[in-house]
Amino acid sequence: MLLNVNNLSVSFGGVHALNLDHFSLRDKELRVIIGPNGAGKSTFLDIICGKTKADKGEILFNGKAVTGKTEVAIAEMGIGRKFQKPSVFPGLTVHDNLLLAAKMKKDIFSSLFFKPTAALADRIHAVATKLSLTTVMYKMAGDLSHGQKQWLEIAIVVLQDPTLMLIDEPAAGMSDEETEKTGALLLELSKAHSIIVIEHDMKFVEQIARELVTVLVRGKRLMEGTFAEVKNDQRVIDCYLGRTNAQLETL
């Protein structure tokens, strides 16, 4: 197993945001995590990539502990993160965004005396082609459309060449066509990387969930199964529909 999580819990001001008994991910597996709002999906990814500190529990990545490490150390271990809200460098060109992401030595002196190489240029070009960014290479990232920003951030993660990619709502705010393309891309990436995707869009989940889907509800793992199993599970239906009913009752 590439990633092993045991008894992970974190609370914010007394509220249990996450209380995960067990979670594991195989190498080169694409796992989708679904769940209603506030289920702790993003919090889970935040803990893996070092943004949030867990109260207790362990996360083993390739057998090494992740908890307690800094963001940089975790990134160096080979975990890359795409955030829910596209987070790119708006004041830099698309090309520079990609250049900064690319895997290389990242200390200050290497950066100061950095000379671009042909191999690196090819790699950036290849990733940009894959994500349809070649036509906007010298545009400011801040001027891109929402969908393009999403792709740019995915490209940033891809160029880091991580073993594990944590992708938070990649299809949010995208058109159907763009969503489909994103799905195809994730499937292709899963041949070389392990990926955890958080998503709400069930059509999109159906497209990419070739293996297991994990359902989180109120910080706990409700079930794990194939997309068909999850879709037809009464508890999953209840917790999605039940929420709506509860909201209706309060009205």
Rg (CA), the chain: 19
| Binding-site member from 2, 52, 58, 100 for other proteins (CB under 8 A) | 100
Torsion region of 55: left, alpha or beta (phi above 0 gives left; psi -120 to 50 gives alpha): alpha
What is the DSSP pairing of strand 30-34 with strand 79-82? unpaired
**DSSP string across 142-170:** GGS-HHHHHHHHHHHHHHT--SEEEEE-T
Among 12, 56, 65, 90, binds other proteins (CB under 8 A): 90
Neighbours of 219 (CB within 10 A): 22
Alpha helices in the chain (DSSP H): 41-49, 71-77, 94-101, 108-112, 118-130, 146-159, 176-189, 202-208, 227-232, 234-250
Least CB distance from residue 11 to other proteins, whole Å?
22
- For the CB of residue 104, give the shortest distance to other proteins in the complex, in Å: 9
- φ, ψ of residue 15 to 5 degrees: the values are -90, 125
Compute the distance between CA of residue 193 and CA of residue 17 in angstroms, rounded to an integer: 28
Answer yes or no whether residue 121 interacts with other proteins by CB under 8 A.
no
Among 22, 106, 203, 210, binds other proteins (CB under 8 A): 106
**Per rule CB under 8 A, is residue 71 in the interface with other proteins?**
yes
Q: Which is nearer to other proteins, 40 or 162 (CB)?
A: 162
- Note whether 88 binds other proteins by CB under 8 A: yes
Q: Given candidates 37, 63, 64, 113, which one binds other proteins under the rule CB under 8 A? A: 113
Least separation in angstroms between CB 78 and other proteins: 10
**How far apart, in whole angstroms, are the C-alpha atoms of residue 29 and residue 8?**
21
Structure tokens at 192: 């070389």
Counting contacts by CB under 8 A, is residue 108 touching other proteins? yes
Stretch touching other proteins by CB under 8 A, among 23-31, 37-45, 110-118, 188-196: 110-118
Here the tokens at position 168 are 């938070």
Under the criterion CB under 8 A, does residue 117 sit at the interface with other proteins?
A: no
Residue 235 CB, nearest approach to other proteins (Å): 34
Please select the residue that binds other proteins; options are 99, 137, 187, 223, rule is CB under 8 A.
99
d(CA 59, CA 67): 6
Per CB under 8 A, the segment of 33-41, 103-111, 191-199, 216-224 that binds other proteins is 103-111
Nearest residue (CB) to other proteins, 100 versus 202: 100
Residue ranges in contact with other proteins by CB under 8 A: 49, 51, 70-72, 75-76, 80-81, 83, 87-93, 96, 99-101, 106-108, 111-114, 138, 142, 156, 160
